[in-house]
Structure 1
């Protein structure tokens, strides 16, 4: 096994100083926590024919969270490899990478940078700016902290999930087809689902 494999087997209690209590809730200690690309996923859900859910994800995710003493002062910076998109269908994935959608040849990465954080207990709202194809638009994510564990190789990991909803046309992702019976082929509204493990940086 490598040190990027799942933390579920053999996880132990956290090391000293990896957590602190804020408002009666255990949260990650202040400092820089790097995203583990092997355990980070940005998922998206759209609807086909306005009925069937189609799920996709980006597996190439990198970045860091700077956890502040006050959670609301924390900052997030994420880079997404747009070429890593996968939806379980090669034809659809190739279309998503084309200039009808993400145009990965010209814009291989997207970024998210936080602008504000509100936090109560073990969850909060993360507001930020998502840039896709050179277009920056505001995004709001509901975030939940799931806990901190120590993996078998001595790394402290903080686990978070987040959800949000965007209109893809805000980023110029407007390709669609009008259906003969009415409606459109692909929904404009896209649900986002994120699962991220952060590894604590140590001096």
Structure 2
């Protein structure tokens, strides 16, 4: 029995690939989530304040990403719900003001995609997560500054991070779907 070789990715196989440090552009990026409510509908929201850095290495699979999200910036379009999410019953923004992500490995995924393994820290707990990443591509932004765009998705268990939700917990699903639509600009 023969096995197929591992897929290879190089800077030359990714059109426009430019090694360097890239800053996530908060104006053109969305950090969104969805959770099942009462088992019949999704409640969607986003975080409006975040920073992040992507370091693209000469070998794309040796690249890294870090991001920090401000919990108090949660927005679901409903002020009372947003305040409840910030409260001690959920994310406890007063005690845990940030959630962070740090990549640990990048692998070739299915098709043209990548898998970004990393550690997500929320509510004082750190858990491994894998982002399913689709590279949209490289281009030129304002004043011909190089930009890159991608979409990444994952699903986490809120209970694995100690987010139980108090008396209203039974109304919400445990699975949180996360979608990141990211644009970043080359800074060096």
- TM-score of the superposed pair, with normalisation by structure 1: 0.82
CA deviation after TM superposition for structure 1 residue 154, in Å: 2.6
Equivalence for 2:6? none
Unaligned runs of 5+ in 1: 1-20
1:99 aligns with 2:88: yes
Mapping 1:29-178, distance limit 5 Å? 29-119=18-108, 122-175=112-165, 177=167
- The reply to whether residue 197 of structure 1 matches residue 183 of structure 2 is yes
1:64 and 1:197 mapped to 2: Cα distance?
A: 11
Query: Is there any run of 5+ residues in structure 2 with no aligned partner, and where?
Result: 1-9
| 49 and 176 in structure 1: CA distance in 2 versus 1, 3 angstrom threshold | farther
**Native 8 Å contact 1:25 1:122 kept in 2:** no
CA separation of 1:40 and 1:178: change in aligned 2, threshold 3 A: closer
- Which consecutive segments of 4 or more residues in structure 1 shift more than 2 A? 21-25, 119-122, 176-179
Deviations 1:79-114 (A, max 9, x none): 001111001111100000001111111111111000
> Could you tell me the TM-score, scaled by structure 2's length?
0.88
Q: CA deviation at 1:176?
A: 5.1
Q: Is the 8 A contact 2:123 2:163 kept in 1?
A: no
1:42-92 Cα distance to aligned partner (Å, 9 max, x none): 111101101111101112120101111111111111000111100111110
Structure that is richer in helix per residue: 2
> What RMSD in Å do the two structures reach over aligned CA positions?
1.8
